[in-house]
Structure 1
Amino acid sequence: MTPAAAPTRAASRSRDLPGGRWTRFVLRRTGRLLVSLWVLVTASFLMIHLVPGDPVRAALGLTAPADLVAAKREALGLNDPLLTQYVHYVSDLLHGDLGESIVSQLPVSQTISQRLPATASLALLAFVVAVAVAIPLGVAVAVATRRGRRRRTELAFASTSVVLGAVPDFLVGVALVCVFAVSLGWFPVAGREGPSSYVLPVLALAIGPAAVLSRIVRVEMLAVLVTDYIRTARAKRLPATRIHLRHALPNAVTATLTLGGMLLASMVAGTVLVENVFAWPGLGSTIVASIVARDYPLVQGTVLVYGVIVLVVNTLVDVALALLDPRSTIGDL
């Protein structure tokens, strides 16, 4: 394989995917998504029925009048048979109705629509930062340590990335607050007021995934750097930057894309703890507050939205991976 052809290998794979095979792949992925969504919806419905005691009484308080509790149960349809409640719940979801908050009396969809942008912006910014740091870092370390060179650099990188990747996001957030917000006063301690308020929560979400992703980039890059077409490129005395970025990097991104998509889904879930560390007005702080207040319709709706986001992201990653590398669809035939 010539160096000029190497960068286009991943792009040309998508054209090699037969129409029938691609159709079967899309149908199977769509079927899995629908089944997963059904399981998620069923689990969120059963959540309110598996909680011990009366959820309405728990939300309104022990001193709430009995007639108020009874009226609220009737309004929520909790006196209907379980199957009837399930059918109504699914029907309401198909019409975009997530129910009504017991505490605030507001539609759950309204609360989620107000809080979702804060969570989405936080997770997406953290993902961009993680990728922007991990790919150059992984490539640089791979180039510096190939063929067993610079063992100390390799050991330092491996040790640091393992430690950073293992520390929970909320502990990173607490440490960042103590150092950069409380001690140094460089950034706000909490809240979402201006660009500076994004710095610490974004870093808290991005540091761990960036460490994990950079290790994958390094491993993939090391495997590509010993291939024949890279040796040919070096024999032609092409510039090192062109070899590494144009010929090697495009063929080392498949595993990075797969893990990156999984990390994006985990970042969305990780916002639950990080938002509470920084008092971020997103879905993460909303779900914790609704659990404390025992506002189960709001808990149901928030958990459902989180689950849908994770499932959709994972499905999109599978499709993107199939476009880059049709061999990934072999197990779906």
Structure 2
Amino acid sequence: MSTATHAGVGRFTAHPRMAFAARRLRRFVLSLLALVTASFAMIHLVPGDPVRAALGPSAPQDLVERTRATLGLDRPLADQYLSYLRGVFSGDLGTSIMSREPVGVVLEQRLPATAGLAGAALALTLAVGIPLGMAAGVLGRDGRRPGSDFAFTVVTGLFSALPEFLLAVGLVYALAVSLGWFPVAGGTGPGAYVLPVLSLAVGPAAVIARLMRVETRRALREDYVRTARSKRLRRRVIYLRHVLPNVLTATLTVSGLLLGGLIAGTVVVENVFAWPGVGGAIVTAITGKDYALVQGFVLVYGAAILTVNLLVDLAIAAIDPRSSILER
């Protein structure tokens, strides 16, 4: 191997974050390819003829055959797979069997509403869960304030165990029906976001707060915190500069799993609030046996979850270069 090659390898291996990012990107691409393959196989693993199931048993046979030919389902399986791969990576996710609209058009119409809802819920989850858990860890350290600590444990445990559907129904009854503060369903403007965002964010925020509380107490017992206190640094500096970066690693790891569930949870919450997003279209596609549309939704939701996990891992590597995640 030449000297230049050795130097290039040395520079790359000297930066474990870059090596980790390269490995994670490679795994992301492989996982995305597996997801595309699984979404393609889904329509072929369904018992019976998906076109006949979507058009109904009374549809004329010539209409079924024409639809099957239009969708390319009459071609050999290998040709269909290669065509599907080309279409996915060029932005063509197929055609809805029922509406005959391109799946990409349906997603383009509905995805912004879902993305806005999930993004707002994500922001609220992190904005509430991280400072709340850290504050609980600081205030209850060394056995202080046992009553407040017990109340925190009970309340966060209750909210973390509540399903999104049940929480959404409760919020609708309490804040929309009884008090009339927010619209029951649909609606426009910032007020329409409040109830669905709360339904999605309360549970994950409670879980993150509980984890932050435990990690904060662990960090406060570490030697580097004692050293910072011996230097008579301000509490704000100790907590934000020394404690926070060291407790975010474990919290972000769990957040990646929670946020994947949050993205999937939009399906249920959107149907409760008649939200004009992807969730309602998914239910309609499943009940109408529009497998091409379901196929596209599965691909988009799966890609979103993979992307969230990738970003979380990269964020952990950037925050804590000593993290064991760099060795994976």
- With normalisation by structure 1, the TM-score equals 0.90
Count of paired positions: 317
Q: State the shift of 1:109 in Å.
A: 0.3
Matched, 1:258 2:224: no
Partner of 1:214: 209
Higher RCO (C-alpha under 8 Å, 6+ residues apart): 1
Alignment match of 1:275 (pick from 270, 273, 279): 270
Aligned equivalents of 1:323, 1:47: Cα separation in 2: 37
Distance change (3 Å), C-alpha of 1:241 and 1:24: closer
User: The residue matched to 2:140 in structure 1 has which SS?
Assistant: helix
Identify the match of residue 324 of structure 2 among 324, 328, 332. 328
Distance 1:203 1:45, change over 3 A: same
Q: Does 1:189 align with 2:184?
A: yes
2:148 to 132, 147, 153: 153
SS at match of 2:99: coil
C-alpha offsets along residues 123-173 of structure 1, whole Å, 9 cap, x if unaligned?
Answer: 111111111111221122111110012222222211221221111111111
Question: 2:49 corresponds to which residue?
Answer: 54
Alpha-carbon shift at residue 27 of structure 1 (Å): 2.9
Contact (CA 8 Å) 1:130, 1:207: kept in 2 or not?
Answer: yes
Describe the shift of the 1:94–1:269 C-alpha distance in structure 2 as closer, same or farther (beyond 3 A): same
Instruction: Report whether the alignment pairs 1:104 with 2:104.
Output: no
Residue aligned with 2:147, SS: helix
Residue segments in structure 2 that go unaligned for 5+ positions in a row: 1-11
1:70, distance to aligned residue in structure 2 (A):
0.9
| 3-state SS of paired residue (1:186) | coil
Map Cα deviations across residues 180-234 of structure 1 (whole Å, 9 max, x no partner): 1112211111114111110000000000001000011111111121223322343
Q: Does 1:247 align with 2:253?
A: no
Distance 1:91 1:238, change over 3 A: closer
Q: Does 1:73 align with 2:68?
A: yes
Give how far 1:261 is off. Answer: 3.0
Pick the aligned partner of 2:40 from 41, 45, 64: 45
- Does 2:125 correspond to 1:125? no
- Judge which range, 141-150 or 26-35, deviates more: 26-35
What residue in structure 1 maps to residue 169 of structure 2? 174
Take 1:196 and 1:290, find their aligned partners in 2: how far apart are those partners? 29
**Over aligned residues, Cα RMSD in angstroms?**
1.9
Deviation string for 1:263-292 (max 9, x for gaps)?
222211110111111111111221111111
Whole-Å separation in 2 of the counterparts to 1:25 and 1:235: 36
CA contact (8 A) 2:129 2:209 kept: yes
Q: Is the 8 A contact 1:123 1:264 kept in 2?
A: no
Query: Aligned residue for 2:5?
Result: none
TM-score by length of 2: 0.91
Residue 20 of structure 1: CA displacement?
5.3
1:254 counterpart letter in structure 2: T
Percent of aligned pairs with the same amino acid: 55
SS in 2 for 1:133: helix
CA contact (8 A) 1:275 1:282 kept: yes
Structure 1 portions without partners, runs of 5+: 1-16
Q: For residue 328 of structure 1, what is the amino acid of its counterpart?
A: S
State the partner residue of 2:9. none
CA contact (8 A) 2:13 2:19 kept: no
Partner of 1:26: 21
Inter-CA distance 20–133: structure 2 relative to 1 (3 Å threshold): closer
Determine the C-alpha separation between the residues in 2 that align with 1:140 and 1:22.
31
Segment of structure 1 superposing worse, 239-248 or 219-228: 239-248
Aligned residue for 1:271, secondary structure, equals helix
| Aligned partners of 2:168 and 2:272 also within 8 Å | yes
SS of match in other structure, 2:154? helix
